[in-house]
Amino acid sequence: MTSLMPYGPLLERLLAGQFVCAESDEEGFRQLQDDSLRDSINDYLRPLNRRLASNPDASVWFLAWQELTAEAREQLSSQLAQTWNSLLPLLEWMQLVQEALGRDAVLTAGDILKPAEFVLRSEDNHSLRERLNRLAADRFFNSQSEDLGNQVKQIFRRLKEQGYLVQPHADRQYYRVTGKIDYLLDLVRFIRDEENLPIEDQPQQQEALL
C-alpha cells in the first residue's frame, strides 16, 4: 500500500473534477503511471464513491463514480446534456484554429496557441472574422462583445476554464492544448460508433493512381 502523503495536490485536483494529463499536470500524470499508486488512490476514493478512470489511450485521467447511484446517474445525465451542447462550438473552434493558422492537422495535445496570432489572422480575413464572430456569440463561449480582441480573449478564457487549455505563465499570453482535447475526440468517436452516424475517419480507398 503506497502512502498517499506526497500526492495531496494530485488528489485534490482529481477530486475537484479536473482532468490530469501530461500537459495540464506533468508531475501528476507521471505519478499516475504507477499501478500500485493507482490502487492506493482507488482504495482511498472508495468511501467517496469514486474511482480513477481514463480514456482508451490513457492519455487523460479523471474520476468516475464507483457505484452508479440514482443521484450519480442524474448528475451524469445533465453533464451529458452539457457536453452535447458544447460539442459543436468546440469542434467548430478546432476547425477555425486549423484554418486560421494554416495547419494541416486538427489541434492536438501539446500544441501552443497564442490569442494574438489568432486575432492577427482573423483581422483581415472577412470569412474567418465572421465565423469567429458567430462562434464567440454561441452560448458555450458566451461573449457579449463586438470587439475581436475581446471575443478571442473570452473564447480562450472559457477553454481554459473547461480544461482544454492551460496557461503556463499567468502573465504571458500563450496557451497549451491539454489532453482533454483527445478525450473530446474520443467522445465524438464513441457517439459516432454508438449512434451509427455516417462519419468516416479513414480515407476512402486510396485512389488507384498509375
Partner 1 sequence: MAEDFNSSLLRTGAERLALLGKHAQALMQGYIGEQVDESAFSDAALKKLLAARILWRPDEDSGLKLSHRVRDLIAEMLSDARRRHVNADVAETLELLRNLVMTWREAQQRGDYLLAEQQQVRLTQEVDDLNSRFADAIDSLWQRLNSDFGFVSSLNDKIRENERAQKQISRLLDGLDLIDFDELITLVGGSGPLRKLLVSQLQNQVSAHYSNLREVQSRLLQLMARFRQQQSRNLLVNGMVGFLREHPRFRPGNYAQRTEVPTLFNQAAGLVPAAAAALDRDRDADLLAELLQHLPRRDLQAENLLVAAPAQWSAEAASVAARQQQLKEDVEAYYLQVVDAGQPLSALDYLQSSGLAWDAEIWLFQVIAEYQGLPARQQQQFRIWQDESPTSPWNQVRLIHDVQLQLAPVAQVAS
Residues that bind partner 1 in the complex, under the rule CB under 8 A: 12, 15-18, 48-50, 53-55, 62-65, 68, 72-77, 79-80, 84, 87-88, 91-92, 94-95, 98, 104-106, 108, 183, 185-192, 194-195, 197-203
Least Å from the CB of residue 105 to partner 1:
4
Number of alpha carbons in the 13 Å side-chain half-sphere of residue 159: 29
Cβ proximity to partner 1: between 8 and 172 the closer is 8
Cβ proximity to partner 1: between 52 and 148 the closer is 52
Cβ proximity to partner 1: between 76 and 166 the closer is 76
Least Å from the CB of residue 149 to partner 1:
26
Least Å from the CB of residue 45 to partner 1:
9
Least Å from the CB of residue 102 to partner 1:
8
Whole-angstrom CA distances from 198 to 76, 98, 192, 201 are: 26, 23, 8, 10
Number of alpha carbons in the 13 Å side-chain half-sphere of residue 63: 23
Cβ-based neighbours of 8, under 8 Å, separated by 6 or more: none
Cβ proximity to partner 1: between 106 and 120 the closer is 106
Cβ-based neighbours of 9, under 8 Å, separated by 6 or more: 28
Cβ proximity to partner 1: between 26 and 74 the closer is 74
Q: What is the side-by-side strand order in the sheet with 112-113?
A: 112-113, 175-177, 165-166
Least Å from the CB of residue 175 to partner 1:
19
